Amino acid sequence: MPEPTLLDLPFDALRDRIVELGEPAYRAEQIWQGVYRDLATSYDEITTLPSGLRRGLEDRLPFGLPLPEGAQESADRRTRKTLLRLADGERIETVSMDYDERRTVCVSTQVGCAMGCRICATGQSGFTRDLTAGEIVAQVLHVARDLGQVGERLTNVVYMGMGEPFANYDATLTSIRILNDPRGFGLGARSFTVSTVGIVLGIERFAGEGLQANLAVSLHAANDALRERLLPINRTHPIGPLIRAFRQYVERTNRRITFEVALIDGIND
Protein backbone atom coordinates (compact mmCIF):
# COMPACT_ATOMS: atom_id res chain seq x y z
CA MET A 1 0.00 0.00 0.00
CA PRO A 2 1.37 3.45 -0.93
CA GLU A 3 2.52 5.87 1.77
CA PRO A 4 -0.19 8.35 2.93
CA THR A 5 -0.46 11.49 0.83
CA LEU A 6 -2.16 14.84 1.22
CA LEU A 7 -5.37 13.56 -0.36
CA ASP A 8 -5.59 10.65 2.11
CA LEU A 9 -6.07 12.97 5.07
CA PRO A 10 -9.38 14.32 6.41
CA PHE A 11 -9.13 17.92 7.57
CA ASP A 12 -8.41 17.21 11.24
CA ALA A 13 -5.66 14.73 10.33
CA LEU A 14 -4.16 17.26 7.92
CA ARG A 15 -4.13 19.94 10.62
CA ASP A 16 -2.40 17.57 13.03
CA ARG A 17 0.19 16.70 10.39
CA ILE A 18 0.89 20.34 9.61
CA VAL A 19 1.43 21.09 13.30
CA GLU A 20 3.77 18.07 13.55
CA LEU A 21 5.79 19.64 10.76
CA GLY A 22 6.23 22.75 12.86
CA GLU A 23 3.79 24.95 10.95
CA PRO A 24 0.85 26.93 12.36
CA ALA A 25 -2.50 25.12 12.25
CA TYR A 26 -4.09 27.69 9.93
CA ARG A 27 -1.83 26.49 7.13
CA ALA A 28 -4.06 23.41 6.97
CA GLU A 29 -7.03 25.60 6.10
CA GLN A 30 -5.06 27.26 3.31
CA ILE A 31 -4.02 23.90 1.91
CA TRP A 32 -7.52 22.45 2.26
CA GLN A 33 -9.15 25.31 0.40
CA GLY A 34 -6.44 25.30 -2.25
CA VAL A 35 -6.99 21.60 -2.95
CA TYR A 36 -10.76 21.26 -2.61
CA ARG A 37 -12.07 24.69 -3.61
CA ASP A 38 -9.45 25.97 -6.04
CA LEU A 39 -8.68 22.43 -7.29
CA ALA A 40 -4.92 22.98 -7.22
CA THR A 41 -2.76 20.23 -8.71
CA SER A 42 0.40 21.07 -6.75
CA TYR A 43 1.56 23.05 -3.74
CA ASP A 44 3.01 25.62 -6.12
CA GLU A 45 -0.54 26.55 -7.14
CA ILE A 46 -1.55 27.28 -3.52
CA THR A 47 -0.17 30.80 -3.49
CA THR A 48 -1.50 31.58 -0.01
CA LEU A 49 1.39 29.44 1.28
CA PRO A 50 4.91 30.87 1.62
CA SER A 51 7.17 29.78 -1.24
CA GLY A 52 9.58 28.00 1.11
CA LEU A 53 6.77 25.93 2.61
CA ARG A 54 5.46 25.05 -0.84
CA ARG A 55 8.84 23.68 -1.83
CA GLY A 56 9.23 21.63 1.33
CA LEU A 57 5.77 20.08 1.55
CA GLU A 58 6.03 17.95 -1.58
CA ASP A 59 8.74 15.80 0.04
CA ARG A 60 7.14 15.66 3.48
CA LEU A 61 3.50 15.25 2.39
CA PRO A 62 3.18 14.44 -1.33
CA PHE A 63 0.11 15.60 -3.21
CA GLY A 64 -0.52 12.10 -4.54
CA LEU A 65 -2.20 12.84 -7.86
CA PRO A 66 -2.47 10.01 -10.43
CA LEU A 67 -1.38 10.64 -14.00
CA PRO A 68 -3.92 10.42 -16.83
CA GLU A 69 -2.70 8.08 -19.56
CA GLY A 70 -5.50 8.31 -22.07
CA ALA A 71 -9.23 8.67 -22.46
CA GLN A 72 -12.09 7.33 -24.57
CA GLU A 73 -15.33 9.16 -25.33
CA SER A 74 -18.69 7.77 -26.35
CA ALA A 75 -20.06 8.63 -29.78
CA ASP A 76 -22.37 11.29 -28.32
CA ARG A 77 -19.46 12.67 -26.20
CA ARG A 78 -21.53 12.47 -23.02
CA THR A 79 -19.44 9.73 -21.41
CA ARG A 80 -15.67 9.88 -21.00
CA LYS A 81 -13.52 7.06 -19.56
CA THR A 82 -10.07 8.03 -18.32
CA LEU A 83 -7.18 5.68 -17.54
CA LEU A 84 -5.20 6.87 -14.52
CA ARG A 85 -1.77 5.61 -13.47
CA LEU A 86 -1.17 5.48 -9.72
CA ALA A 87 2.11 6.15 -7.92
CA ASP A 88 3.06 2.45 -7.87
CA GLY A 89 2.32 2.01 -11.57
CA GLU A 90 -1.07 0.34 -11.18
CA ARG A 91 -3.91 1.63 -13.36
CA ILE A 92 -7.57 2.33 -12.76
CA GLU A 93 -10.48 3.69 -14.78
CA THR A 94 -12.64 6.69 -13.93
CA VAL A 95 -15.73 7.64 -15.91
CA SER A 96 -17.44 11.02 -16.21
CA MET A 97 -21.05 11.07 -17.36
CA ASP A 98 -23.02 14.02 -18.66
CA TYR A 99 -26.74 13.83 -17.98
CA ASP A 100 -29.29 16.56 -18.67
CA GLU A 101 -29.02 18.18 -15.25
CA ARG A 102 -26.22 16.19 -13.63
CA ARG A 103 -22.48 15.86 -14.05
CA THR A 104 -21.49 12.55 -12.50
CA VAL A 105 -18.19 10.79 -11.91
CA CYS A 106 -18.03 7.01 -11.48
CA VAL A 107 -15.02 6.13 -9.34
CA SER A 108 -13.06 2.94 -8.71
CA THR A 109 -12.31 1.73 -5.19
CA GLN A 110 -9.88 -1.11 -5.95
CA VAL A 111 -7.31 -2.14 -8.55
CA GLY A 112 -9.17 -5.11 -9.95
CA CYS A 113 -11.83 -6.91 -7.92
CA ALA A 114 -12.05 -10.14 -5.95
CA MET A 115 -15.82 -10.65 -6.34
CA GLY A 116 -15.53 -12.55 -9.63
CA CYS A 117 -18.91 -11.46 -11.02
CA ARG A 118 -19.43 -13.12 -14.39
CA ILE A 119 -21.14 -10.09 -15.88
CA CYS A 120 -18.23 -7.74 -15.08
CA ALA A 121 -14.95 -7.42 -16.96
CA THR A 122 -13.13 -6.18 -13.85
CA GLY A 123 -14.38 -9.17 -11.88
CA GLN A 124 -12.76 -11.49 -14.41
CA SER A 125 -9.39 -9.73 -14.23
CA GLY A 126 -8.62 -10.58 -10.60
CA PHE A 127 -7.74 -8.45 -7.59
CA THR A 128 -4.51 -6.50 -7.07
CA ARG A 129 -5.04 -4.13 -4.13
CA ASP A 130 -7.34 -1.66 -2.42
CA LEU A 131 -7.17 2.01 -3.28
CA THR A 132 -6.41 4.53 -0.58
CA ALA A 133 -8.96 7.19 0.29
CA GLY A 134 -6.73 9.70 -1.48
CA GLU A 135 -6.65 7.66 -4.67
CA ILE A 136 -10.45 7.66 -4.66
CA VAL A 137 -10.64 11.39 -3.91
CA ALA A 138 -8.13 12.12 -6.69
CA GLN A 139 -10.48 10.63 -9.29
CA VAL A 140 -13.23 13.03 -8.26
CA LEU A 141 -10.92 16.03 -8.32
CA HIS A 142 -9.62 15.05 -11.76
CA VAL A 143 -13.12 15.12 -13.25
CA ALA A 144 -14.05 18.27 -11.31
CA ARG A 145 -11.09 20.07 -12.89
CA ASP A 146 -12.08 18.92 -16.37
CA LEU A 147 -15.62 20.18 -15.81
CA GLY A 148 -14.35 23.47 -14.40
CA GLN A 149 -12.46 24.13 -17.63
CA VAL A 150 -15.78 24.25 -19.52
CA GLY A 151 -17.62 26.20 -16.83
CA GLU A 152 -19.46 23.27 -15.26
CA ARG A 153 -19.51 21.75 -11.79
CA LEU A 154 -19.57 18.16 -10.62
CA THR A 155 -22.93 17.26 -9.07
CA ASN A 156 -22.75 13.53 -8.22
CA VAL A 157 -20.27 10.80 -7.29
CA VAL A 158 -21.13 7.13 -7.77
CA TYR A 159 -18.94 4.34 -6.38
CA MET A 160 -19.61 1.94 -9.24
CA GLY A 161 -16.23 1.62 -10.96
CA MET A 162 -13.56 -1.04 -10.54
CA GLY A 163 -13.76 -2.93 -7.25
CA GLU A 164 -16.26 -3.57 -4.46
CA PRO A 165 -16.58 -0.45 -2.25
CA PHE A 166 -17.59 -2.37 0.88
CA ALA A 167 -14.56 -4.65 0.52
CA ASN A 168 -12.56 -1.43 0.94
CA TYR A 169 -14.96 0.06 3.44
CA ASP A 170 -12.78 2.44 5.46
CA ALA A 171 -11.20 4.11 2.43
CA THR A 172 -14.58 4.44 0.75
CA LEU A 173 -16.16 6.14 3.75
CA THR A 174 -13.14 8.36 4.37
CA SER A 175 -13.27 9.58 0.78
CA ILE A 176 -16.96 10.48 1.14
CA ARG A 177 -16.31 12.40 4.35
CA ILE A 178 -13.40 14.30 2.77
CA LEU A 179 -15.45 15.31 -0.27
CA ASN A 180 -18.52 16.09 1.83
CA ASP A 181 -16.62 18.40 4.21
CA PRO A 182 -18.23 21.87 3.86
CA ARG A 183 -14.88 23.56 4.49
CA GLY A 184 -13.59 22.21 1.20
CA PHE A 185 -15.19 20.42 -1.73
CA GLY A 186 -18.54 20.51 0.05
CA LEU A 187 -20.50 18.05 -2.09
CA GLY A 188 -23.80 17.23 -0.38
CA ALA A 189 -24.12 13.76 1.16
CA ARG A 190 -27.14 12.90 -1.00
CA SER A 191 -24.96 13.41 -4.07
CA PHE A 192 -23.00 10.23 -3.24
CA THR A 193 -24.17 6.72 -4.16
CA VAL A 194 -22.27 3.62 -3.06
CA SER A 195 -22.97 0.45 -5.04
CA THR A 196 -22.30 -2.95 -3.48
CA VAL A 197 -22.59 -6.45 -4.86
CA GLY A 198 -24.29 -7.32 -1.56
CA ILE A 199 -21.84 -7.39 1.35
CA VAL A 200 -24.19 -7.78 4.31
CA LEU A 201 -21.79 -6.46 6.97
CA GLY A 202 -21.02 -3.46 4.77
CA ILE A 203 -24.71 -2.65 4.39
CA GLU A 204 -25.18 -2.91 8.15
CA ARG A 205 -22.20 -0.64 8.85
CA PHE A 206 -23.30 1.85 6.22
CA ALA A 207 -26.71 2.09 7.86
CA GLY A 208 -25.06 3.22 11.09
CA GLU A 209 -22.81 5.92 9.62
CA GLY A 210 -25.31 8.75 10.02
CA LEU A 211 -24.75 9.82 6.41
CA GLN A 212 -27.42 10.79 3.92
CA ALA A 213 -25.48 9.06 1.12
CA ASN A 214 -27.35 6.66 -1.15
CA LEU A 215 -27.05 2.88 -1.30
CA ALA A 216 -27.35 0.81 -4.49
CA VAL A 217 -27.17 -2.98 -4.70
CA SER A 218 -26.17 -5.05 -7.74
CA LEU A 219 -28.92 -7.66 -7.54
CA HIS A 220 -29.15 -8.99 -11.15
CA ALA A 221 -31.41 -11.93 -10.22
CA ALA A 222 -34.32 -12.56 -7.87
CA ASN A 223 -33.50 -16.14 -6.85
CA ASP A 224 -30.39 -17.72 -5.39
CA ALA A 225 -29.77 -20.28 -8.14
CA LEU A 226 -29.59 -17.72 -10.94
CA ARG A 227 -27.88 -15.05 -8.87
CA GLU A 228 -25.16 -17.52 -7.87
CA ARG A 229 -24.49 -18.23 -11.56
CA LEU A 230 -23.95 -14.53 -12.20
CA LEU A 231 -22.46 -13.44 -8.86
CA PRO A 232 -20.41 -16.02 -6.93
CA ILE A 233 -20.69 -13.82 -3.79
CA ASN A 234 -24.28 -15.09 -3.52
CA ARG A 235 -22.92 -18.35 -2.08
CA THR A 236 -21.94 -16.52 1.12
CA HIS A 237 -24.39 -13.60 0.84
CA PRO A 238 -27.63 -15.18 -0.45
CA ILE A 239 -30.81 -13.25 -1.08
CA GLY A 240 -32.50 -14.09 2.25
CA PRO A 241 -29.88 -12.41 4.48
CA LEU A 242 -29.63 -9.58 1.96
CA ILE A 243 -33.35 -8.85 2.20
CA ARG A 244 -33.10 -8.72 5.99
CA ALA A 245 -30.16 -6.32 5.70
CA PHE A 246 -32.14 -4.16 3.24
CA ARG A 247 -35.08 -3.93 5.61
CA GLN A 248 -32.85 -3.03 8.55
CA TYR A 249 -31.13 -0.37 6.43
CA VAL A 250 -34.45 1.26 5.49
CA GLU A 251 -35.67 1.12 9.10
CA ARG A 252 -32.50 2.77 10.41
CA THR A 253 -32.03 5.40 7.70
CA ASN A 254 -35.52 5.98 6.28
CA ARG A 255 -33.85 5.98 2.86
CA ARG A 256 -34.65 3.97 -0.23
CA ILE A 257 -32.30 1.46 -1.86
CA THR A 258 -31.65 1.30 -5.59
CA PHE A 259 -31.54 -2.21 -7.05
CA GLU A 260 -29.37 -2.67 -10.13
CA VAL A 261 -30.01 -5.33 -12.78
CA ALA A 262 -28.01 -5.87 -15.96
CA LEU A 263 -30.54 -7.46 -18.29
CA ILE A 264 -29.15 -10.42 -20.22
CA ASP A 265 -31.33 -11.86 -22.97
CA GLY A 266 -32.48 -15.38 -22.21
CA ILE A 267 -30.86 -15.46 -18.77
CA ASN A 268 -32.48 -12.89 -16.45
CA ASP A 269 -34.61 -11.07 -19.06
Here the CATH number for the domain that contains residue 169 is 3.20.20.70
Categorize the per-residue pLDDT at 2 as very low, low, confident or very high, splitting at 50, 70 and 90. low
What is the distance between the alpha carbons of residues 211 and 180, in angstroms, rounded to a whole number? 10
Residues 122 and 31 occupy one common structural domain: no
Residues 211 and 162 occupy one common structural domain: yes
104-156, pLDDT tens digit by residue?
A: 999 999 999 999 898 888 877 789 999 999 999 999 999 999 999 999 999 99
55-78, pLDDT tens digit by residue?
A: 999 889 999 899 999 999 999 989
Taking only Cα atoms into account, the Rg of the chain, rounded to an integer number of angstroms, comes to 19
Q: Which residue has the higher pLDDT, 119 or 254?
A: 254
Q: Domain range holding 54?
A: 6-60
Per the domain annotation, does 246 fall within a domain? yes
What is the distance between the alpha carbons of residues 193 and 84, in angstroms, rounded to a whole number? 22
Q: What's the structural domain count of the chain?
A: 2
155-180, pLDDT tens digit by residue?
A: 999 999 999 999 999 999 999 999 99
DSSP annotation of 61: S
pTM of the model: 0.95
Categorize the per-residue pLDDT at 49 as very low, low, confident or very high, splitting at 50, 70 and 90. very high
